[in-house]
């Protein structure tokens, strides 16, 4: 790897990291798990640790990067949850008394965590949970709450309204794992992954539009051991989205982030945590870095902070 020098129009002085990885958009050149540095000084830029193919692609192009957090919360308990029944999309139930208490507890736990954006499923149980969290959080005052149907629960087809154990028995009879089993008329895991991918693409674009400013310096991916605090991983990021959704969707999202986007797990977590059902008002948190260039907004880096934290309930 060499350094390359070009005379260009004077631009902002500084040193800028460039991550050579694309997830959602195919670039002419992609080099996984490698990076180069763009150093700007005296009206010239120097690209270090890159090869010529990537230099040719990046030459004279402006790239913006943003690192931000996403905190994902499952809705509180409903009477259907309590009875072990599948709600899916057809049954738009409200929170039970215990579910309201859980939502209030989540709101108090997250009350000092700064959020800059809020996204929520269009189903009642998620909206009620989101309202309780936002109510306790002063940083959410005046924020737009974006209701997004792509965050709704999985459709379980003919199994909706029945017992969870009955769906597990259906999967066993079909010779499949119940985590991957699709009841007749239900939504497949691949369809759910597509929904999650589309939501993330929309969220990335929204975060960049809301929080990237000309001349803004990239903060970088925060590191450090967990302190067991509600704001773990987000104290040094410029933006942070709250996302309130549902158990089955969150479980598939965790698998998608780890299996397909290759998100590394922190020490102490393994795949058993990834595939476990998130408890009511359980909390997951990830840190993302995205890059905005001529190819659009693409994911550059991802880190898991924690999965299914529930010490508030």
Return the number of other C-beta atoms located less than 10 Å from residue 33's C-beta: 9
Q: Tell me the H-state helices in the chain.
A: 52-58, 79-82, 97-109, 124-136, 164-173, 189-211, 247-255, 271-275
Indicate the length of the chain as a whole number. 313
- Taking CB atoms within 8 Å and a gap of at least 24, the contacts of 52-59 are 52/4, 53/28, 53/29, 54/20, 54/29, 55/4, 57/27, 57/28, 57/29, 58/18, 59/6
Among residues 75, 104, 160, 187, the one annotated as catalytic is 75
Say if residue 74 carries a ligand binding annotation: yes
CB 281 within 8 A of CB 310: yes
79 known ligand binder = yes
Helix (H) or strand (E) holding 15: strand 14-19
Q: What one-character DSSP code corresponds to residue 78? A: B
Q: Is 107 annotated among the ligand-binding residues? A: no
Cα gap 20→31, rounded to integer Å: 5
Is 75 labeled as catalytic in the residue annotation? yes
Q: Is the dihedral of CA 239, 245, 250, 253 positive or negative?
A: negative
Among residues 153, 160, 187, 218, the one annotated as catalytic is 153
Q: Please tell me whether 75 is known to bind a ligand.
A: yes
Residue 226 phi, psi dihedral angles, 5° rounding: -70, 140
Q: Is 32 annotated as a binding residue?
A: no
Beta carbons within 8 Å of 31's beta carbon, 6+ residues apart: 20, 21, 51, 54
Beta strand 296-309 with 283-293: parallel, antiparallel or unpaired? antiparallel
> Do the annotations mark residue 190 as ligand-binding?
no
Whether 260 sits among the annotated catalytic residues: the reply is no
Q: 16 labelled as ligand-binding? A: no
State how far the Cα of 113 lies from the Cα of 119, in Å rounded to an integer.
16
- Does 131 count as an annotated binding residue? no
Q: Is 49 left (phi over 0), alpha (psi -120 to 50) or beta?
A: left
- Say if residue 76 carries a ligand binding annotation: yes
Residues annotated within a binding site for substrate: 74-81, 125
Catalytic residues: 75, 153
């Amino acid at each position: 790897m060499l350094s390359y020098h070009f005379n260009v129009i004077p631009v902002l002085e500084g040193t800028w990291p460039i991550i050579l990885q694309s997830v959602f958009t195919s670039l002419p050149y992609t080099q996984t798990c490698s990076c180069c540095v763009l150093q700007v000084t005296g009206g010239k830029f120097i690209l270090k640790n890159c090869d010529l193919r990537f230099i040719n692609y990046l030459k004279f192009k402006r790239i913006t990067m943003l690192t931000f957090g996403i905190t994902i919360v499952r809705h509180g308990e409903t009477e259907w949850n309590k009875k072990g029944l599948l709600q899916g999309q057809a049954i738009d139930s409200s929170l039970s008394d215990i579910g309201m208490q859980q939502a209030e507890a989540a709101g108090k736990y997250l009350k000092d965590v700064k959020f800059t954006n809020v996204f929520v499923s269009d189903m009642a149980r998620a909206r009620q949970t989101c309202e309780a969290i936002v109510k306790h959080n002063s940083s959410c005052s005046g924020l737009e709450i974006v209701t997004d149907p792509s965050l709704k629960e999985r459709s379980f087809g003919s199994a909706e309204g029945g017992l969870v154990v009955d769906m597990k028995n259906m999967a066993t009879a079909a010779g499949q794992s119940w985590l991957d089993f699709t009841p007749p008329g239900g939504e497949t895991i691949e369809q759910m992954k597509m929904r999650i991918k589309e939501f993330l693409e929309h969220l990335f674009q929204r975060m960049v539009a809301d929080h990237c400013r000309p001349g803004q310096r990239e903060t970088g991916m925060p590191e450090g051991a967990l302190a067991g605090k509600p704001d773990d991983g987000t104290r040094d990021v410029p933006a942070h989205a709250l996302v309130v959704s549902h158990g089955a969707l969150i479980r598939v999202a965790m698998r998608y982030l780890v299996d397909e986007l290759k998100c590394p797990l922190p020490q102490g977590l393994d795949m058993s945590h990834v595939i476990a059902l998130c408890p009511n008002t359980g909390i997951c948190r990830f840190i993302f870095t995205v890059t905005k260039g001529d190819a659009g907004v693409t994911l550059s880096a991802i880190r898991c902070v924690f999965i299914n934290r529930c010490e508030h309930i």
